[in-house]
Amino acid sequence: MKMNKLTAGLLTASVSLLVLAGCQKMDRPALGDYPKDSNTPGGPLKFYAAFDGTTSNSLMNAVDSIKASFASENPLNSTDGVSGKALQGANRKFVKYAKPNDWATTAQSFTISIWFKKDGQTQNNKGTNGPEYLMSLKQTNVNNANHWSGATLLFFLEGNNTACAVKTMFVDKSNGDSWSTWEGGNTIPGLCDNKWHHLALVYNHTNSQAVLYVDGVANPNIRGWSGHGPINFDNNRIAEMRVGAGPGAATEENDDWLSSTFKGGIDQFRLYGTALTAAEISALYTGKK
C-alpha cells in the first residue's frame, strides 16, 4: 500500500518525536519550576538557593534560581524551614555546586546571607567538639600555589548556645588571607537554641571592613583587612562550592577541623556581589528571606 506525501510526512514527524522523547535525559528537572527571587540581569544577587524541597528530586530542591545552576550532589533531606522548606544537615553529608556563578569573578564587595538552625554544641565528624561549616569554597591547586587551608573561603560556627563563635576567612588571588572572627570575649550567645537565626556577613571594599549581622542587627565588633580594598577572589582556584561542609575530607569520619559538616538546618542561602546596607539586611531578616 502506497502512502501519499502528507501521510508519510506525518509518520516521519511522529517517529522523530518518539525518538526524541525516548532519548531525553530525565534525571534533571525542567527549567523554570523552582523558587525565584527578584533580581535584574547582572544584578547584585549572584546566587540564591531557597532549598524549598517541594519535589522528589534532590537536585531541584537545591537549585540556584539566578542562573538555574543545579547542585552536582545533594544527599540532604528536606525539613521545615524559616520560609517553606529547608535542608537538614547531617554528619559527613553536604551540598556541592561547581561554582557560585560569577560571584567570585565580579564581586569587589560581597554579602553572604543564610538562615540556620542548630541545637547545642557544634561537633566535628567524629562527634567531639569542633566547628560546623555553613559553607566553604574548596580550592583547586593552580600553579602549585594552593592556600594552606585548601579553600578560598571558610564560614563556620564553633561553640554552644551559651557562647558560639562565628568565624570567616577569605583568600585573595595572591594567597593573602583575612580572618574575620567573633570569638573569645566576642562570642555570641543564643545561636544554638534549636531556633532559626539569620546571619549576614558583609565585606565592604571601600573601607576594607567586615560586619556581621545577627538576626538583622549589626554586631558592634567590626573586623578590618588593613586597606585591602576589593576582595579580589581567584575564580580559577575554586574547585567547588560546598554548603554545609568545610573544604577537607568532609565525607570521612575524622576530627579534622577543616572537614566538619553542618548537622543543623540550612535555609535561604544568598550570595550578593555588593555590600548590602543595614536596611537591606533588616529586610531579609524580617521577610524571612
CA dist list (Å): 4 to 14, 17, 191, 214:
16, 20, 75, 73
The three-class DSSP label of residue 46 is strand
In angstroms, the CA 83 to CA 272 distance is 20
In angstroms, the CA 158 to CA 167 distance is 8
Neighbours of 102 (CB within 10 A): 15
Residue in the block written with cell 500500500: 1
Mean pLDDT by 10 residues, the chain (289 residues): 41 38 41 54 89 90 94 96 96 98 97 98 98 97 87 98 98 96 98 98 98 98 96 96 98 98 98 98 97
In angstroms, the CA 4 to CA 27 distance is 40
pLDDT of residue 53: 82
User: Any residues with CB less than 8 A from the CB of 51 and at least 6 apart, and which?
Assistant: 61, 62, 78, 81, 85, 86, 87, 266, 267, 268, 269
Q: Is the Cβ–Cβ distance between 87 and 78 less than 8 Å?
A: yes
In angstroms, the CA 152 to CA 171 distance is 5
Q: Is the Cβ–Cβ distance between 30 and 72 less than 8 Å?
A: no
Write down the CATH number for the domain with range 48-286: 2.60.120.200
pTM of the model: 0.86
3-state secondary structure 133-168: EEEEEEECCCCCCCCCCCEEEEEEEEECCCCEEEEE
